[in-house]
């Protein structure tokens, strides 16, 4: 399964940490993130950190058990941490707990 997410602003370190944390919650699922030709393992902080500062169209691939749930959870991470309206960051878009 795969999903696409448009990230209009540069990816921040907070978002990268949330991506890795979320991906590691799905133990029986292989998750890859692709952006601008670079593919990273979503469960590896070192690999995902290579996406720092990148913006554009991200493609997330999930294979294995609970792949759909993994994609939905990662979409929420991207949406909550990169939510913008009229080039101004929304406040309190998503709750952290």
Instruction: Give the CATH number of domain 2-85.
Output: 3.30.1340.10
- Tell me the CA distances in angstroms from 72 to 1, 5, 18, 50, 87, one per residue in order: 11, 11, 14, 22, 25
Domain boundaries, the chain: 2-85
Q: Closest Cα partner for 68 from 37, 28, 36?
A: 28
- Name the burial class of residue 95, with classes exposed (0-12), middle (13-18) and buried (19+) by CB atoms within 10 angstroms of its CB: exposed
Per-residue pLDDT of the chain (97 residues; tens, 9 = 90+): 999 999 888 888 889 999 999 999 999 999 999 998 899 999 999 999 998 888 889 999 999 999 999 999 999 998 887 654 344 444 444 544 4
Q: What are phi and psi of 63, to 5 degrees?
A: -125, 135
């Amino acid at each position: 399964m795969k999903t696409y997410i448009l990230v209009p602003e540069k990816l921040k370190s907070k978002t990268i940490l949330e991506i890795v944390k979320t991906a590691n919650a799905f133990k029986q699922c292989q998750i890859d993130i692709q952006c601008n030709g670079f593919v990273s393992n979503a469960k590896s902080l070192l690999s995902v950190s290579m996406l720092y500062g990148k913006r554009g169209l991200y493609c997330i691939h999930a294979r294995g058990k609970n792949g759909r749930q993994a994609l939905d959870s990662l979409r929420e991470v991207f949406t909550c941490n990169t939510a913008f309206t009229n080039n101004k960051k929304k406040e309190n878009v998503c709750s952290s707990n």
